[in-house]
Amino acid sequence: MQVYADQAATTKISERALQAMMPCYTDIFGNPSSLHEVGRAAEEAVEKARKSIASAIGAEAGEVYFTSGGSEADNWAITMAAQLGAKKGKKHLISSAFEHHAVLHTLDKLKKEGFEVTLLPVHEDGLVRPEELEAAIREDTALVTIMFVNNEVGTIQPIEKLGEICRQKGVLFHTDAVQAAGHLPIDVKEMKIDMLSMAGHKFHGPKGVGALFVRKGIAMSNLISGGGQEKGKRAGTENVPAIVGMAEALRESLENREEKNAAVLKMRKRLTEAVLQIPKSRLNGDPDQRIAGNMNFCFEGIEGESLLLYLDLQGICASSGSACTSGSLEPSHVLLALGVPVEIAHGSLRISLDESNTEEEVDYILQTLPGVVKRLREMSPMWEHIQKGEV
Ligand SMILES: *Cc1c(COP(=O)(O)O)cnc(C)c1O
């Protein structure tokens, strides 16, 4: 049996998205910038997708820009807001300690260019406190960027409250919603979001495509110079099939969302309860204020990497945290931000499910995981000390 329990890393393209894309490789092959009929058909497909994505988040079509994915959308939004701020002498940026590296590394780059960055704490529950954001905002704050849902621990930030504070203070608010889009209701107007990033492959769309929402009236800077695509802000012939596939996948994901979430939540609750029966195990992040399919555990006395390898041998695909940092021996910056001690953070396991997973798969994980943890602990020199309470 193979169980794919790594839906937060990427998802399999849905049949519907794939079918929507196919004609864009054949009949609708034109360049959307061409004036003839073949080009116009491609342009129509792109604009239809833009409208559909915009309406899914309560935006207008003219506020949605296509990118190559979540990382590009994050990079673009943050550098754009920083440049805008700098023009007015505002060089302070606020974010949180457990953002995706697409955000954190962009902020690091801006720091080297003379910006000042404040990273808000996320506390043990993996949540930003609105009052701490309010206190951190200064006269010279140009941007607040805080993720909607964390990719490792799945916690859902109080986005509407954060947006309200930023709007009141007149500060731009960006959210990396890559883990939220397609999973949670989003309304950029109600939530007072100025910029929002998403990526197609996190909700059963194709890889290599994403979108950035930028509220009307924000003076956008150019990302790629060249032709007039994306209002001249991001040049290059559009990836028509991917754009169409992403729009279809988003529509499909949001259909019957509540039923899907309820089914996933049921699987998560059963799995979480049973896994926490394993001695010296813990669930990281708030147990309730998290996306339906996310579980992030730590098992004392073992290394997350070996756990993953053993699970993989049994056909279970999971993650130690973020796909982007696996392979590095550093413990997750997200778990450290939650205050998990370094030794414990090393033994982390993220299981991320969605509606494409089944109760039978949960059974299989439960038949397999406790035995694997036990075997690894028997091999671990640390485990004996931990049991004796010496560590
Ligand atoms: C996956 C992910 C990204 C990066 O998206 P790509 O499409 O892989 O560039 C950014 N932020 C979060 C929260 C993610 O989960």
Please answer whether residues 284 and 53 qualify as being in contact, where contact means their C-beta atoms are separated by less than 8 angstroms.
no
Note whether 312 and 4 are within 8 A (CB).
no
Place of tokens 């003076």: 219
pLDDT of residue 382: 84
SS3 143: strand
Q: What is the pLDDT of residue 321?
A: 74
CA of 257 to the centre of ligand 1 (A): 21
Backbone angles phi, psi at 103, to 5 degrees: -90, -50
Is residue 126 within 8 A of residue 338, CB to CB? The reply is yes
Query: How close is the Cα of 268 to the center of ligand 1, in Å?
Result: 22
Instruction: Pick the atom of ligand 1 nearest to 8's CA.
Output: 15
List, run by run, the mean pLDDT of 10-residue segments along the chain (391 residues).
97 98 97 96 98 98 98 98 97 98 98 98 98 98 98 98 98 98 98 98 98 96 94 96 98 97 98 97 97 97 93 96 58 94 93 98 98 94 85 69
Atom index in ligand 1 nearest the CA of residue 200 equals 7
Per annotation, catalytic residue among 166, 298, 317, 324: 324
pLDDT recorded at residue 98:
96
Note the pLDDT of residue 384: 86
pLDDT for position 387: 86
Distance CA 304, CA 294 (A): 17
Q: What is the β-pairing status of strands 92-96 and 141-145?
A: parallel
Residues lining ligand 1, Cβ inside 6 A: 69-71, 74, 100, 102, 147, 151, 176, 178-179, 199, 202, 210
Closest CA to 269 of 248, 285, 288, 253: 288
How far does residue 219's CA lie from ligand 1's centre (Å)? 25
CB distance 333 to 121 below 8 Å: no
- pLDDT tens digits, 55-70: 999 999 999 999 999 9
Active site residue 166: no
Distance 71 CA to ligand 1 centre (A): 6
Give nearest CA residue, ligand 1 atom 14.
178
